[in-house]
Structures are given as structure tokens and as C-alpha cells.
Amino acid sequence: MIEIKNVSKNFPGKNKAINELNLTIPDGKIVGFLGPNGAGKSTTIKMMTGILPIDKGSITLNGYNIEKNALEAKKIFGYVPDQPDMFLRLKGIEYLNFIGDIFEIPKEIRQERIETLTKQFNIYNALDDYIQTYSHGMRQKIIVTGVLIHDPDIWILDEPLTGLDPKSAYMLKEMMREHADKGNTVFFSSHGLEVVEQLCDEVAIINKGELIFHGNKQEIREQFQSDQSLEELFLELTSDE
């Protein structure tokens, strides 16, 4: 479970990028995080993962405060950033072994997971190449594989499906479903309303740094016209008029 309590964030020269955000992401559900460009999705995710300091409020992951118990918190989540351009000077296999070393994954388990996952994602033959030479989608897949190798309880994914080919996107969606069904937490941001509508148990919508909707499909239907699509709801909620 992820608990965001009264969180605010300012950047120099900007009005509140995040303003008094409260959001609980429960176990056993896939929760989609939506919002227009610049709404504050990545900023929220970067605070959840300890990349950006929190100005005010607190965030806990399975009870561990991301700032006060950073090491414990970081052991239990996996994060896929929106820009997967990291560790470019490492070969794919070096990156995965680096992750395996950090999270102390035994050699045999690690080898088995690397082989299975990279074959499924169709990057097995590129493992000896430098990540620098990978396409956007391949970089994304190597980072997703890194997350799956250490099998964390909580998945935090910033636009994970952007740039993935249809087969890989399908596999990742299946993996997200399976992970949530086992009672784990899956939180991801997206601009793909159809994907969110199809995949998520709950949807949180942010606009101008404030949470403007959080509910499950039933609550969406109750609160809005029953025949309204998520796209119509999103456009209505985030409209400036």
C-alpha cells in the first residue's frame, strides 16, 4: 500500500506543482494515474520513489516512510521511469547483474529470471550490447526486466507502455494484472485512456497539482453519467472552462 498524506511540492518560480495531495493506493489493485501534461504525475512519482524531496507531508510504502526509512522503502518497490535513458554505458546483461547484486538475488534465480524475461521481451539477443545502442522500447524493457528480477511488492511505473510494441505491451499488462491479483500494489501513470479503462481497478486524476478524482469503475459510473467514457470524464474534469 502507498499512502500519500498532505503532500506539497514547489519548484522555484512556480506556483505549487503539487498542492496538499492525499491519495491511498491499496494492495491488490491496479491504479491508473491520469492528468494533462504538466499536471504533476511525474513529480508525484519522483517524490514517492525518493528522487525528489517532499516539501510538506509524507509518503509511506507498506508503512516505510520514503524519507525517514529510505533504505527499507527502496527495497520493496520497483520503478520504471518515463525516460528510460540510464546506465547507457553498461551492457544489458551488466545492468541486470548489477540490479541482481544490489538486491542480493541468488545466481541461479537471477539467471533463470533474466533468461525467461528477456526471451519473452525479445531482448535476449541484445544482452551483450550496450544500452546506449538500444531503442527507447528496448531500454524500457531492460528496466522492466530489472524490476521483475528483484520481484518487489510495489510497482511504480511512469508511462510504462509508451514505446512498447504490442506484444510487449500485452505481456506487461498481463504481468501487472497477475502481480495485483497476488495482493500486490501496481501504480502507473498513463496518457492512454483506453488502456487505463481496460486495465485499472481504480483511477486517480490530477490536474494542476491537485487530485480531482479518485475512484473505482463503479464510483465513476455513480458519480458521472453511466454511459460516459473515461475519455469524456477526463475531458470534463480537466477542462479549464
Ligand X SMILES: Nc1ncnc2c1ncn2[C@@H]1O[C@H](COP(=O)(O)OP(=O)(O)OP(=O)(O)O)[C@@H](O)[C@H]1O
Binding site for ligand X (CB under 6 A): 11, 14, 17, 35, 37-43
96 and 174 Cβ atoms separated by less than 8 Å: no
In 3D space, the residue among 156, 158, 183, 176 whose CA is nearest the CA of residue 66 turns out to be 156
Shortest spacing between CB 33 and ligand X, in angstroms: 9
Shortest spacing between CB 151 and ligand X, in angstroms: 27
Shortest spacing between CB 8 and ligand X, in angstroms: 12
What are the DSSP calls for 45-63, one per residue?
HHHHTTSS--SEEEEEETT
Shortest spacing between CB 14 and ligand X, in angstroms: 5
Shortest spacing between CB 39 and ligand X, in angstroms: 4
Please identify, using beta-carbon distances, which residue of 26 and 53 lies nearer to ligand X.
Answer: 53
Longest CA–CA span in the chain (Å) reads 58
Please identify, using beta-carbon distances, which residue of 114 and 157 lies nearer to ligand X.
Answer: 157
- Calculate the alpha carbon distances from 180 to 1, 107, 141, 146, 151 in Å: 11, 27, 20, 18, 13
Please identify, using beta-carbon distances, which residue of 21 and 180 lies nearer to ligand X.
Answer: 21
Beta bridge partners of 78: 155
In 3D space, the residue among 133, 156, 144 whose CA is nearest the CA of residue 79 turns out to be 156
Please identify, using beta-carbon distances, which residue of 39 and 48 lies nearer to ligand X.
Answer: 39
